[in-house]
Each structure stands twice: as C-alpha cells, then as structure tokens.
Structure 1
Amino acid sequence: MFERFTDAARATVNGAQTEARQLRQHHIGTEHLLLALLRPGPDTGLAHNLLTATGLRHDQVAADVTRLADATEPLGAADAAALEAIGIDLEAVKAKLEENFGPGALTPPSPPARRGLFGRRRATPTSPGHIPFTPRAKVVLELSLREALRLKHRHIGTEHILLGLIREGRGLAARILTDHGIDLPDLRTRTEQAAAGTKTA
C-alpha cells in the first residue's frame, strides 16, 4: 500500500510519528495525522491547503491535542483541584497508596517483553525507534486507500488521508475539526472537488 503514497503523503505518515514524539505521547492517533497534515513545510500537499483555508492552524490543534490528552489522564491537575475543593489532598492519597502497595502502584503495567525466534528479545512497540498506530489511525490509512480507489486515482495523496480522517469520523481528529466549527460533509465535498483537479498531492 505504501508504494502508492505520494511524497507528501509519506511525509504525513512520518510526520505523525514526529508529532506524537514532540507531544511525548506513546501512540500515533488520528490527531497526529491531522497535525502532520497541518504542519507547514515544502511538501505540504493538497490537504494542508484545504485545512488551512478553514482557518485551522497547527499550533491550535497541537494545543487541543495536549488539552484533550490531559483531560483523559487519570487523576490529572483538574482532578486534583476538584478534590482539593472538597478537602481531599490527592498527593496525600497517592503517597498513602504507594506506602501500602509500593512505588508506582498507580502506574499501569508495561507490556511483557516479546521474544522472537530462539528466545531473543524483540523490540516492543514503545521502544525509542517505533511508536505504534492506534486502531483508529490504522483505519484512517486503510480508508485513504479505499478513497483513492473510489476516486479511481492511482496514487494515495494527502487529500486521500484527509478523506480517510473525515470518513472514519469518530477519532480525536474528527472531534477537533468539528470543535473548530468545520462541517465534515462540506470539507469532504471540497476535498473531493480539489482532488478531481489534481494528479498528486
């Protein structure tokens, strides 16, 4: 499938990994693909132009991703403030739990090391060289191929990745787009119209 990707589309997939690393996140989600589409640069592609025409900016989306990721973290700063308002000291609770159950009691366990042929340890998806794609992000990439086939294009460009993000419709990228007042069916129509007038992007 990746041999059909244009240079700009490959840069987007690689850029999504960079975005996840810069935000210190351990997965590549639909939001990182959106950030990669929005990152300014020489190989931006058609999707970048369509997204920035809506007024959306890379720094806005990066702030949204950070805010929404923080909101899903268990016992974050907002939780500490809410608990403090009713007289509960979150740090004291954490300290007591660690005292009773050991250091790192609240930290989720790491996946076991995988072993390959002859019992050798294999790199895990969270090793420094590799950040795994979430199931939704994988679906977006699969849908980008389907969108290219539907439009009878021989390549997969950034416009097809954007169409995949829109078609998936339930990931964090779609939520961010709609939170910014972007109408997904309208963006889809404009993307298809623009894709009809271009050969690679």
Structure 2
Amino acid sequence: MFERFSGTARAVVTEAQEQARLLGDSEITADHLLLGVLRGGDNPAVRVLNRLGIDRDAVARRTQALGGADAQALEAIGVDLEAVRERAEASFGPGALDQPLRRGSLLKSRSGGHIPFTASAKGVLTQSLREALALGDKTIGPEHLLLGLLAGDNGTAGHTLRGLGSDPARVRAELLRELGPAA
C-alpha cells in the first residue's frame, strides 16, 4: 500500500513516527498521524484544520498531556483536563505540563528503531487508501490520511478534535468541499 503514498503522505507517516518517538510512546497512534498531517505543509488537509482552529500546537499539547484512553477515562469521571492544566500553570508557570510524559521505554524512544502502528492507526492507513480510491485518486495524499482519520470517528483522533472544539463530521465536510467538485 505504501507505494501509493505521495511524497507528502510519506512525510506525514515519518513525522507521525517521530512524534511517537519524541513523546516516548511505544506505538504510533491515530493522534500521531494527526500531528503528522498538521506538519505536512500547505495542503488541503492543513488548510481546513487551520481554518477550523485546529493547529499542531493544540493537538500536540493534548497528545502530550495524556494518552487518549487515559484522557477519555478521566473525562468520563468528570475530570476537566484543561482545568488541571490551568491550575498547574498558575502554580508552576506557563508550559509547566509541556514536557512529554514518558509512557514507553526510554531505550526504545531514543534508539531510533522501528515503532509499530496501533491497530487503529493501521485502520486509518487502510481507510486512507479507500478514501483515495473513492475520490478517483491514484495516490494517497495528506488529505486522504485526514479523511481516513475522520472515517468512522476513529477513536482518539475524533476525541482529540472534539476536545479542541471541532466536530469530526464538520472537518470531513469542509475537507471534501476544499477538494472540489470531484470529491
């Protein structure tokens, strides 16, 4: 499948791996792919996300703070993660929580070795191929990766977008509009 990825889509996947490594994660998640899309330069996916107020820094802060499952569990019991951040910054200064938590092995995160994809992230990559084919495109670009992230409300990426005030269905509709009549 990777032979169908454009150079910019390959750069997105490479950036997702680098983000996982920087965050000390042992697997590449959908949120890492979302961060990779946002680092992809000027393309329809980035333009739509930015227009809707979703930028790389906001996603990175949310991804760094806690893993997606942890964040969902805390929100389910009424813990407001943004309020926690505000209180920590009030006590310890701006950016107090910006250092990534080391959730994976330090040895793995520094080794530069291969980091595997979670099942959800693999599903995003497969869905991105379906999205490209449905649009009549022969190659997979960052816009198809974003559509893959948005399809079926893929767990943490959809949760991340909602947490940043954006409805995944609206992001999808805006991206399809941006891609034009062929979409």
Work out whether the TM-score is over 0.5.
Answer: yes
Q: Is 1:56 aligned with 2:59?
A: no
- Per-residue CA deviations over 1:68-126 (Å, capped at 9, x if unaligned) read 229839xxxxxxxxxxxxxxxxxxxxxxxxxxxxxxxxxxxx9xxxxxxxxxxxxx9x9
Taking every aligned residue pair, what percent have the same amino acid on both sides? 43
Equivalent position of 1:142 in the other structure = 126
- Structure 1 or 2, whichever has the larger Rg, is 1
Alignment match of 2:45 (pick from 28, 44, 47): 47
Alpha-carbon contact 1:143-1:168 (below 8 Å) kept: no
Write the mapping of 1:105-124 to structure 2, written as runs, cut at 5 A. Answer: none
Alpha-carbon contact 2:69-2:156 (below 8 Å) kept: no
Equivalent position of 1:106 in the other structure = none
> Quick one: distance in 1 between partners of 2:159 and 2:140?
24
> Quick one: distance in 1 between partners of 2:161 and 2:128?
18
Runs of at least 4 residues of structure 1 off by over 4 A? none
User: Relative to 1, partners in 2 of residues 1:68 and 1:137: Cα closer, same or farther, differing over 3 Å?
Assistant: same
User: Relative to 1, partners in 2 of residues 1:24 and 1:191: Cα closer, same or farther, differing over 3 Å?
Assistant: same
Question: Match for 2:116: what amino acid?
Answer: P
> Quick one: distance in 2 between partners of 1:147 and 1:70?
24
Equivalent position of 2:25 in the other structure = 25
Normalised TM-score (structure 2):
0.72
Q: Is 1:158 aligned with 2:167?
A: no
Alignment match of 2:115 (pick from 128, 131, 140): 131
Question: Match for 1:143: what amino acid?
Answer: Q
Shift of 1:139: 0.1
Alpha-carbon contact 1:37-1:44 (below 8 Å) kept: no
Equivalent position of 1:9 in the other structure = 9
Shift of 1:160: 0.5
> Quick one: distance in 1 between partners of 2:141 and 2:68?
32
Gapped regions of structure 1 (runs ≥ 5): 74-109, 111-123
Shift of 1:28: 0.2
Shift of 1:153: 1.1
- Per-residue CA deviations over 1:131-157 (Å, capped at 9, x if unaligned) read 000000000000000001111111111
User: Relative to 1, partners in 2 of residues 1:56 and 1:160: Cα closer, same or farther, differing over 3 Å?
Assistant: same
> Quick one: distance in 2 between partners of 1:32 and 1:62?
9
Equivalent position of 1:86 in the other structure = none
Question: How large is the RMSD of aligned CA atoms in angstroms?
Answer: 2.6
User: Relative to 1, partners in 2 of residues 1:146 and 1:23: Cα closer, same or farther, differing over 3 Å?
Assistant: same
Question: Match for 2:3: what amino acid?
Answer: E
Number of aligned residues = 147
Gapped regions of structure 2 (runs ≥ 5): 72-104
